[in-house]
Amino acid sequence: MSQQSSTIGSEVTWSAEGAAVNTADANAAGSAGAYPGASEPPHLSVRNLHVHVGGNHILKNINIDIPNKGITSFIGPSGCGKTTLLKTLNRLLDRQKGVVVKGAVLVDGVNIYDKEVEVTDMRKKMGLLSQRPFPLPMSIFDNIAYGPRIHGIKKKKQLEEIVEYYLRATHLWEEVKDRLNQSAAALSIGQQQRLCLARGLAVEPEIILGDEPTSALDPVSTQRIEELFLQLKDKYTLILVTHILRQARRLSDTIVFLYMGEIIEYGPAEDVLLHPREKLTQEYVKGFIS
């Protein structure tokens, strides 16, 4: 397992054609090679995780295995810790003062909270979409090229191919191909969010984290993003935080229901949403608590 993790991040092997096919393949080759078939272990699991922020016990004894591929949604009333949980998955949380994380988050079997783990490699495996889109302060082209560039791709031609590929993948290409050198801040907010998604995909992650990624968008843009998620879920593991139950229903394969920092119930979407076992889940799904 640790062998596996070191091969994914260390050498970036890019090629012009590779850009077109790599993401799915890298993924498949990495895990399916070692563990063929249905017994494939999860990329991402959480073990006995406790998080304290400023003395408050925010997450209590979290244990989950996130299934590979497909969409996993964290749902629960506001303040239940779902965003905190998401941010512990790629260690964005512990940049803040007063955060204490106990337990383990295993990515390909390696605990990312181990001291020896190279954080940048681990983060590269996980793309992030925040609540509001935050394009980098540069042009549209540079926004996508930023990731590949910092990971060592310098050739102009290769970068151009990558940018086009991911802009197409997020259905932005036709809208922006004539103004790639303009500021990304000039795009509409829905376009910005798709740009942010493309930017994340360009570093070839295996997992995409979405922190209520449609909460700032209008219904049309929301729909486009949701369509994208459904297309991407065959290649990537998507983990979404959402407070919209209908969205979770539309998209999710797996549902994790959190309440007051604890996982109350998790499993396949139909089971949790239609036949919840726990009383709290029932009440939440019916809309009694929110």
Binding residues vs other proteins (CB under 8 A):
9-11, 90, 92, 95-98, 118, 120-121, 123-124, 126-128, 130-132, 134-139, 146-147, 150-152, 183-185, 196, 199-200, 203, 209
Least distance from C-beta 132 to other proteins, angstroms?
7
Least distance from C-beta 199 to other proteins, angstroms?
7
Least distance from C-beta 187 to other proteins, angstroms?
11
Nearest to other proteins of 30, 200 (CB atom): 200
Least distance from C-beta 248 to other proteins, angstroms?
22
How far is 266 from 47, CA to CA, in rounded Å? 15
Least distance from C-beta 95 to other proteins, angstroms?
6
How far is 252 from 255, CA to CA, in rounded Å? 7
Nearest to other proteins of 238, 269 (CB atom): 238
DSSP assignment of 225-259 = HHHHHHHHTTTSEEEEE-S-HHHHHHH-SEEEEEE
Strand ordering across the sheet containing 207-211: 126-129, 207-211, 237-241, 70-75, 254-259, 262-268
Q: Angle at the Cα of 145 (from 140 to 151), degrees rounded to 5?
A: 155
Nearest to other proteins of 91, 249 (CB atom): 91
Nearest to other proteins of 184, 269 (CB atom): 184
Strand 207-211 with 126-129, pairing: parallel
Angle (deg, nearest 10), helices 189-201 and 156-169: 120
Least distance from C-beta 270 to other proteins, angstroms?
31
In terms of Cβ atoms closer than 10 Å to its own Cβ (0-12, 13-18, 19+), residue 108 is buried
Nearest to other proteins of 124, 224 (CB atom): 124
Nearest to other proteins of 59, 203 (CB atom): 203
